[in-house]
């Protein structure tokens, strides 16, 4: 294992602040931070995922509910938190904001298809806060499009021959707190 570093903190609050601020970027590259429990061997620490705040833009207001936020969060490895500017169970903000665990060994999810009441389909897009550099061809975080060798993955049977769309639009403005409107 290369490029693994151990950080220690004099105060628990400092460690909590660093972990709460995940994801961290250096030169626009993701730094995966995990709390290392003393009973684990280094090889047992899973660096394949990282938490991200994801903004869900483009849902009709009547679909911006806590129930739908949970369904959308389940598209990711794990739903950690829901942040909605809400009036009871319906968001009154511009988007739903989710804290999710993302499997960083797979292409980033750029959105999902939503069915409208009239039966038409529309694409609802995800925007990630503190999104590191990623390949706009295949959606992986470990390289950029100039060095992509995954063209066969992009049009795989798993994607049903459809190329996903990745781009700078996936980067979101960072909301500074859970109280927003």
DSSP element (H, E) containing 152:
helix 151-154
pLDDT at 179: 44
- Select the more confidently predicted residue: 160 or 50: 50
Q: Looking at the domain assignment, is residue 149 inside a domain? A: yes
**What's the pLDDT band for 72 if we cut at 50, 70, 90?**
very high
The answer to whether residues 64 and 82 touch, using CB atoms and an 8 Å cutoff, is no
Regarding pTM above 0.85, the answer is no
Supply the range of the domain harboring residue 100. Answer: 12-172
Average of per-residue pLDDT across 163-171:
82
- In this prediction, residues 100-108 reach a mean pLDDT of 94
Is there a domain that residue 130 lies in? yes
Please indicate, yes or no, if residue 5 is contained in any of the structural domains. Answer: no
Q: Please give the pLDDT value at position 156.
A: 44
Q: How many domains does the chain have?
A: 1
In a domain, 6, yes or no: no
Residue 7 lies in a domain: no
Cα distance between residue 57 and residue 165, in whole Å? 15
- Model confidence at 176, in pLDDT bands (50, 70, 90)? low
Residue 2 lies in a domain: no
Residue 52 lies in a domain: yes
Mean pLDDT of the chain: 83
């Amino acid at each position: 294992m290369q490029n693994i570093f151990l950080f220690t903190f004099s105060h628990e609050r400092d460690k909590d602040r660093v972990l709460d601020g995940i994801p961290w970027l250096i030169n626009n590259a993701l730094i995966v931070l995990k709390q290392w429990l003393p009973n684990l061997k280094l090889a047992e620490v899973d660096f394949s995922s990282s938490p991200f705040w994801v903004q869900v833009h483009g849902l009709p207001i009547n679909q911006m509910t806590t129930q739908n936020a949970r369904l959308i969060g389940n598209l990711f490895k794990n739903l950690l938190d829901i942040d909605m500017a809400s009036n009871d169970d319906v968001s009154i903000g511009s988007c739903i904001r989710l804290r999710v665990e993302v499997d960083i060994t797979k292409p980033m999810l750029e959105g999902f298809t939503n069915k409208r009441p009239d039966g038409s389909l529309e694409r609802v897009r995800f925007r990630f806060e503190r999104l590191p550099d990623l390949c706009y061809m295949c959606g992986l975080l470990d390289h950029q499009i100039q060095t992509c060798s995954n063209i066969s993955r992009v049009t795989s049977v798993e994607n049903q021959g459809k190329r996903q769309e990745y781009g700078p639009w996936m980067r979101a403005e960072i909301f500074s707190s859970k109280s927003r409107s």
